[in-house]
Structure 1
Amino acid sequence: MSISLFQIPLTKLQGVGPRKAGELHALGISSVGDLIEYYPFRYEDYRIRDLREVKDGERITIQGKIASMPSLQRFGGKSRLICRVMVDATLVTAVWFNRGFLKEQLALEREITLTGKWDQRRRQLTVADSEFPDRGGAKTGTLQPVYSVGGDMTQAAMRGLIEKALIQFGDYIPEILPTELTDKHGLMARKDAIAGIHRPENTRDGQEARRRMVYEELFLFQLKLQAYRAMHARKSDGLVHTVDNDEIRTFVGALPFELTGSQKQVINEILHDMKQPYVMNRLLQGDVGSGKTVVAAVALYATVRAGHQGALMVPTEILAEQHARSLGKMFESYGIQVGLLTGSVTERKRRDLIASLQMGLLDIVVGTHALIQEDVFFRSLGLVVTDEQHRFGVNQRSILRRKGMNPDVLTMTATPIPRTLAITVFGDMDVSTLRERPKGRKPIKTYSVKHELMDRVLGFIRKETSAGRQTFFICPLIEESEKLDVQNAIDLHIQLSQALPELTIGLLHGRMTATEKEETMAEFAAGKTHVLVSTTVIEVGVDVPNATLMIVMDADRFGLSQLHQLRGRVGRGEHQSYCILIADPKSENGQERMRAMTETDDGFEISRRDLEIRGPGEFFGTKQSGMPEFRLANLLNDFEVLEQARDDAAALTSSEAFWSSPGYGSLRDYLARESQHRDEPLD
């Protein structure tokens, strides 16, 4: 009879009562299955080392005979126990702190095993753990797992409980992977792998056990993504866009600039998808200023020419207003009507716009989350474009898709993602990447300075202003905060107005009304304002080609990708641009980010470093992106395994046998259980 370890309560384990079960619950362990798959995050090495191979400061285990009578010293309520131990031909000084009770056990010529930190110069070991072989020496020669524990739960207790669980229930650990995959990659049996992670015989066995379980973890995650993708591809019920290539060429040829090779390639990929009977689900990623908006405009033009409507959803009203203006100008001579729908649109305008959408009088609508409200309907929604997709939750994006009959979906992000993570997070999408800068764009020169150099920064502002250029000045908060000692926009606006009386200083922040924000941005874009003091409301998409100087106050308070986004607000015109990061040199993580910013302006490299600093969960925002928290897999180090798992899952789910053969029943059951966590069912 099949038994699920995740349905067996902890109290079924020998020696576990309600109290012990409560301690395990506090660690997120609710069943025997959870306990067995509660993996160690590192190991303590109790294998005996040769002192000739040991480096100073290493944690080592040695074995020898006690060669001197122990000496116990007491000081201030603490104690230090010292004796000499002969290890092969070397006399080692062993030191225990606050272990006076061991003195009586340290008899001359008695064998002892010591683990601790080695001091090469003094030939001294600061002992963390010791055992006597004549009493068994359970740890000696082993790799001991170290678990995340807390409360009353100790390492020894956790090791003991997991050992009991493996003995009592180990035979019920099921094999999940089909034989064809374990044979293909030379993977050990699942039962042996789990046991090998908890109690590895040696380093190689431990590595093989981990390799098996990392592959399984990544394969099962990819299986969900690829199955979802396969199910939708099999339906073939998307809109087929009938696109005239000559019309597209004419539209592109009329643009006031030449597209990069990268833009042309991506446009071809998107148009190819739009002509197919399946639903396009494509991610367009590119660095700041790489020209994603133009690519989206070509796709929107194509959907309108094919007789459908397009929607562009963006995270902020400022960005929505900017896109509506730029698309309106771009499409004006083609008779294509563009509307704007945000929370600030008056009720009358909103009613008129919704009516126009329903009757098909409006071809393209640009908006914020206001687009997904219940009363917004389209006559024929053919293409959904979501900009800065990580700002929207999975459900928000899904609601907009459901406004049409399986419209094509283009998702854009200016946070470039390393290939490994694109496979992981967007495994159910095709990925297009813009890597080239538009012609004529110059690299932005970036500097990190201390607060004490503010006078020089002000001098630089005057210099750029005298050359006819403009400046963004960014700070983290709107008003003064008692919790954070950081500059705020309102105070900074006052200070700069006093320090630079000859200049016009504007102020922009999220608490202003839409009209106030639009007026402020319009004045800055028209060159009437020399310096714009702002919060990160301008982080995404704002385009002022004449702005050549980006100054970020308290830059150590910002994330690396956010700093890169802010830097991308300048360098959009023909003149040399600069980014000055004013940071606290005492902030260790902050300085690490400053080094990254000054060493590279490649968004993909910035993204990689940001991932190293923050980890994938925080990098994406786990709740927003569906980023998994893997138990064992490390997306930076296990990228080869990830690609194998992705390819295997894609091949399996695209085969008819996977969906019908009894041999894959357990995997199909797994998908059925997991599908309820997605925003759309598998079938």
Structure 2
Amino acid sequence: MNTDKNKILDGSVQYIKSVGPKRADSFNEIGIKTIYDLLFYFPSRHLDRTTTLNTIKAYNYLLNGFDGEVTIMATVWDKEKHNYGKKEILKVQFKDSTGFFECVWFRGIKYFYSLFNIGDIFAISGKPVLSKLNNIQFTHPDFDKITEDESQSLLNTGKIIPFYRIPKELKSKNIGDLSLRKIIHNAVENYADYLDESLPEEIISQYKLPQISDAVKNFHFPESKEKLNASIKRFKFEEIFYLEILVALKKYNYKTKLEGASMKIRTNLISDFLKILPFELTSAQLRVLHEIKLDMQSNTPMNRLLQGDVGCGKTIVVLIAMLIAVDNGFQAVMMAPTEILA
């Protein structure tokens, strides 16, 4: 582990270009205090060319009965407020190279009116319908602002654009989609290579996973859809990998460092109980009881799950195990979540 690199990554996020002390305070409020923290503030979703339509394609989809969600990239062409009695609505006209469509808002009119400026480019996502005038219309869609360069890169080179969750703490310092992408891009470009690998090399090789620096880069700003998927897979694998290790360590410590009470069948309590049962235990019940008895005779605490279909006889097995505890001078409690089962 390179301590010099760690010191750099542990440095304040304020030293990232376009952040500074005031914006750093907002990042701190959402738990991003260091450069390392920012590198692992991953996008909530990505936009790529394969998931976008132009206006005419979306229109044809609707004519053919399409009832799903689409994403269209377009430029703000016009916006206007309309009053219907006491209600006010906002209509924003968008234009791409193939035609026009409109978005409608019934709430937050003042906010949305100031947000959509003529000439700005947005990726509009939602479930469109055909209006009474036979135009494409979105109502309160999701949207993401993108730059002209990003728009051209997306259409001409297949570039994939990341979108991040932007909490109110960042919005209060005028950090929106574009500025956050620039800030994170600066961090990734300058510091991702400082990351120490967190998985064993043999694991990376065996499962064909990308190195951590490449995974971070391609999670934020993917070179391709394949590399994005590989990066997501790597971090999912890593999360499960270390979770399994923690579970295994906990199980090992449970078995080797904790000492339980050894319980033996000391009286005729169990045999007398079995005699009064109006039925014979099945072979499966007897087998499980034998395993449980061996567990309870051991000094190692028992950690067992008894699984079976409804009505197969689990409760009577549990009751007999409780009687073994009672036979050794202990108390036992059965908790039955009847409301959940019902």
TM-score tier, shorter chain, comes to 0.5 to 0.7
Q: Which residue of 2 aligns with 1:13?
A: 16
Q: Tell me if structure 2 keeps the 8 A contact 1:117–1:125.
A: no
Asked if 1:219 is matched to 2:241, the reply is yes
Q: Which residue of 2 aligns with 1:311?
A: 331
Q: Tell me if structure 2 keeps the 8 A contact 1:13–1:165.
A: yes
1:142 maps to a residue whose letter is K
Shift in CA distance, 295/73, structure 1 to aligned 2, threshold 3 Å: closer
Shift in CA distance, 223/80, structure 1 to aligned 2, threshold 3 Å: closer
2:164 to 123, 127, 147: 147
Q: Which residue of 2 aligns with 1:76?
A: 82
Q: Tell me if structure 1 keeps the 8 A contact 2:79–2:92.
A: yes
Q: Tell me if structure 1 keeps the 8 A contact 2:204–2:210.
A: yes
Deviation track 1:30-54 (CA, whole Å, cap 9, x = no partner) reads: 3333222222232233556586698
Shift in CA distance, 74/157, structure 1 to aligned 2, threshold 3 Å: closer
Asked if 1:85 is matched to 2:97, the reply is yes
Deviation at 1:283, TM superposition (A): 3.9
Classify the secondary structure of the residue corresponding to 2:319: helix
2-side partners of 1:304 and 1:73: how far apart?
78
Q: Which residue of 1 aligns with 2:197?
A: 175
Deviation at 1:214, TM superposition (A): 0.8
Q: Which residue of 1 aligns with 2:108?
A: none
Question: What is the 5 A alignment of 1:36-51?
Answer: 36-47=39-50, 49=53
1-side partners of 2:165 and 2:123: how far apart?
24
Deviation at 1:276, TM superposition (A): 3.1
Q: Which residue of 2 aligns with 1:234?
A: 256
2-side partners of 1:142 and 1:84: how far apart?
18
Q: Which residue of 2 aligns with 1:60?
A: 71
Q: Which residue of 2 aligns with 1:28?
A: 31
1-side partners of 2:181 and 2:223: how far apart?
15
Q: Tell me if structure 2 keeps the 8 A contact 1:5–1:31.
A: no
Deviation at 1:213, TM superposition (A): 0.5
Shift in CA distance, 281/79, structure 1 to aligned 2, threshold 3 Å: closer
Q: Tell me if structure 1 keeps the 8 A contact 2:71–2:125.
A: yes
Asked if 1:159 is matched to 2:181, the reply is yes
Q: Which residue of 2 aligns with 1:191?
A: 213
1-side partners of 2:287 and 2:8: how far apart?
50
Shift in CA distance, 28/255, structure 1 to aligned 2, threshold 3 Å: farther
Shift in CA distance, 100/175, structure 1 to aligned 2, threshold 3 Å: closer
Q: Tell me if structure 1 keeps the 8 A contact 2:44–2:164.
A: yes
Question: What is the 5 A alignment of 1:237-636?
Answer: 237-243=259-265, 248=270, 251-259=273-281, 263-284=285-306, 293-305=315-327, 308-313=328-333, 387-388=334-335, 540=337, 562=339, 564-565=340-341, 567=342
Question: What is the 5 A alignment of 1:203-218?
Answer: 203-218=225-240
2-side partners of 1:83 and 1:39: how far apart?
31
Classify the secondary structure of the residue corresponding to 1:43: strand
1:180 maps to a residue whose letter is E
Q: Tell me if structure 2 keeps the 8 A contact 1:42–1:147.
A: yes
TM-score normalised according to structure 2 size: 0.68
Q: Tell me if structure 1 keeps the 8 A contact 2:46–2:161.
A: yes
Deviation at 1:81, TM superposition (A): 4.2
Classify the secondary structure of the residue corresponding to 1:137: helix
Classify the secondary structure of the residue corresponding to 1:310: coil
2-side partners of 1:149 and 1:113: how far apart?
16
Bigger RCO (CA 8 Å, 6+ sep) = 2
Identity among equivalent positions (%) equals: 23
Q: Which residue of 1 aligns with 2:110?
A: none
Question: What is the 5 A alignment of 1:662-677?
Answer: none
Q: Tell me if structure 1 keeps the 8 A contact 2:192–2:216.
A: no
Shift in CA distance, 41/255, structure 1 to aligned 2, threshold 3 Å: farther
Classify the secondary structure of the residue corresponding to 1:174: coil
1:190 maps to a residue whose letter is I
2-side partners of 1:182 and 1:245: how far apart?
57
Q: Tell me if structure 2 keeps the 8 A contact 1:45–1:60.
A: no
Deviation at 1:220, TM superposition (A): 1.1
Deviation at 1:199, TM superposition (A): 1.9
Deviation track 1:119-146 (CA, whole Å, cap 9, x = no partner) reads: 686575869567656x973554333333
Deviation at 1:238, TM superposition (A): 4.0
The alignment of Structure 1 onto Structure 2 pairs a total of residues equal to 301
2-side partners of 1:175 and 1:223: how far apart?
17
Deviation at 1:277, TM superposition (A): 4.1
Q: Tell me if structure 2 keeps the 8 A contact 1:46–1:61.
A: no
Deviation at 1:73, TM superposition (A): 7.1
Shift in CA distance, 245/227, structure 1 to aligned 2, threshold 3 Å: farther
Q: Which residue of 1 aligns with 2:107?
A: none
Deviation track 1:268-288 (CA, whole Å, cap 9, x = no partner) reads: 332232233422222446788
2-side partners of 1:270 and 1:240: how far apart?
12
TM-score normalised according to structure 1 size: 0.37
Unpaired runs of 5+ residues, structure 2, are 63-67, 84-89, 105-112
Shift in CA distance, 194/272, structure 1 to aligned 2, threshold 3 Å: farther
Classify the secondary structure of the residue corresponding to 1:14: coil
Deviation at 1:216, TM superposition (A): 0.7
2-side partners of 1:30 and 1:71: how far apart?
40
Q: Which residue of 2 aligns with 1:662?
A: none
Shift in CA distance, 211/252, structure 1 to aligned 2, threshold 3 Å: farther
Q: Tell me if structure 2 keeps the 8 A contact 1:44–1:144.
A: yes
Q: Which residue of 1 aligns with 2:152?
A: 137
Deviation at 1:170, TM superposition (A): 1.0
Asked if 1:200 is matched to 2:212, the reply is no
Q: Which residue of 2 aligns with 1:505?
A: none
1:226 maps to a residue whose letter is A
Deviation track 1:538-587 (CA, whole Å, cap 9, x = no partner) reads: xx46xxxxxxxxxxxxxxxxxxxx5x34x3xxxxxxxxxxxxxxxxxxxx
1:17 maps to a residue whose letter is G
Deviation at 1:217, TM superposition (A): 0.7
2-side partners of 1:113 and 1:149: how far apart?
16
